[in-house]
Amino acid sequence: MKKIIIATKNKGKAKDFEALFGPLGYEVLTLHDVADDMDVEETGTTFEENALLKATALANRLQTMVIADDSGLEIDALDGRPGIYSARYAGEEKSDEANIDKVLEELKDIKESERTARFVCAIAVVSPTSEPFTVRGTCEGVIASERKGTNGFGYDPIFFVPSENKMMAELTAEEKGAISHRGNALQLLAANLDNLVGKA
Ligand SMILES: O=P(O)(O)OP(=O)(O)OP(=O)(O)OC[C@H]1O[C@@H](n2cnc3c(O)ncnc32)[C@H](O)[C@@H]1O
Ligand SMILES: [Mg+2]
C-alpha cells in the first residue's frame, strides 16, 4: 500500500487525513508512527510558514517526502484571531475545551450576523528531491453560541457550516472532507499526488 507521512501529532487531524487519503489508496502515518520524539516549534507568522517548518524538519530527518498541515480558525469579529494561535489559544496545554470556552466568552455580546469565520488550512509538501511548496484551503462558517455535535476535533462543535445546515462536529469525517478547509487544500494536491509520492 502507498504510504503518506504527515508531520502531525494531532489525532483529530490525522483522522481527517485518513478519510481523505484512504479512498485514494494511501495509508496515513503520523509523527506518532515515525518520529514520536519530534516537536517542532511553530515560530512562523503565517500558516504556510509553520506548515513548511513542520514538514521540513521531518523530511530532513527521514530523507523522504512528507506533508504537514498548519491550520486554524479566523474569526472576523476578533480581527482574525485565534488564527495561527488556534491550537494554544487558551494556553500552552492546548485544550480544545478551553479554547472553545475562550472563543464563546469573547463572542458573547456579538450578534449572529457578525459571527462569521473561516477555517484555514495550509498544507506543505517537502521532499529531498523537489522544491517545497504549499497549498491553502478555506471553509466559511459562523460561530454558534453553544456546542453541538461530537465528531471531528478542535473548534468543530461551535463551527456552523451554512452549506450543510449543520455544525462541523455533526458531519462524518467523509462529509467534512468534502467541504472542509483540509479537503479543499487536498483537492489542490490530489491531481499530482501519485507523482509526488511515487508508486511505492
Ligand atoms: O501542529 P500539529 O502537530 O499538526 O497539531 P496542532 O493541533 O498543533 O495543529 P496546528 O498547529 O495546525 O493548530 C491547528 C488548530 O486549529 C484548530 N483546527 C484546525 N483545523 C481544524 C478543524 O478541521 N476542525 C476544528 N478545529 C481545527 C484546532 O484547534 C487545531 O489544534
Ligand atoms: Mg501545532
Residues paired with residue 2 on neighbouring β-strands, in sequence order? 26
Residues with a known catalytic role: 70
Question: The C-alpha cell of 78 is what?
Answer: 476578533
Instruction: Kindly list the protein residues whose Cβ atom lies closer than 6 A to any atom of ligand 1.
Output: 8-10, 13, 42, 69-73, 86-87, 99, 119, 152-156, 180, 182
- Structural contact between residues 200 and 27, judged by C-beta atoms closer than 8 angstroms: no
What are the backbone dihedrals phi and psi of residue 165, each rounded to the nearest 5 degrees, phi first? 55, 35
On the 0-12 / 13-18 / 19+ scale of CB atoms within 10 A, 67 is buried
- At the topology level, CATH places domain 2-197 in Maf protein (3.90.950)
* Predicted interface score ipTM higher than 0.90: yes
pLDDT by residue, tens only, the chain of 200 residues: 899 999 999 999 999 999 999 998 999 999 999 999 999 999 999 999 999 999 999 999 999 999 999 999 999 999 999 999 999 999 999 999 999 999 999 999 999 999 999 999 999 999 999 999 999 999 999 999 999 999 999 999 999 999 999 999 999 999 999 999 999 999 998 876 777 776 44
Question: Distance between CA atoms of 174 and 151, rounded to whole angstroms?
Answer: 11
- Residue 5 to residues 114, 118, 171, 187, Cα–Cα distance (Å): 39, 26, 25, 17
**For the chain, domain boundaries:** 2-197
Q: How many other C-beta atoms are found inside a 10 Å radius of the C-beta of residue 77?
A: 16
User: How many angstroms separate the CA atoms of 10 and 33, rounded?
Assistant: 12
SS3 82: strand
Q: d(Cα 172, Cα 132) in Å, to the nearest integer?
A: 32
Please, which residues bridge with residue 117 across strands? 75, 141
CA of 144 to the centre of ligand 2 (A): 24
Question: Residue with the nearest Cα to atom 5 of ligand 1?
Answer: 10
The alpha carbon of 70 and the centre of ligand 2 are apart by a number of angstroms equal to: 7
- Report the atom number in ligand 1 closest to the C-alpha of 89: 29
What is d(CA 185, CA 83) in angstroms, rounded to the nearest whole number? 17
Closest residue CA from atom 15 of ligand 1:
87
* Phi, psi (rounded to 5 degrees) for 141: -165, -170
User: Does residue 71 have a known ligand-binding role?
Assistant: yes
Distance of alpha carbon 41 from alpha carbon 39, whole angstroms: 6
Minimum CA distance residue for ligand 1 atom 10: 70
Give distance in angstroms: CA of 1 to centre of ligand 1: 27
Its pTM stands at 0.96
How are beta strands 26-30 and 2-6 bridged, if at all? Answer: parallel
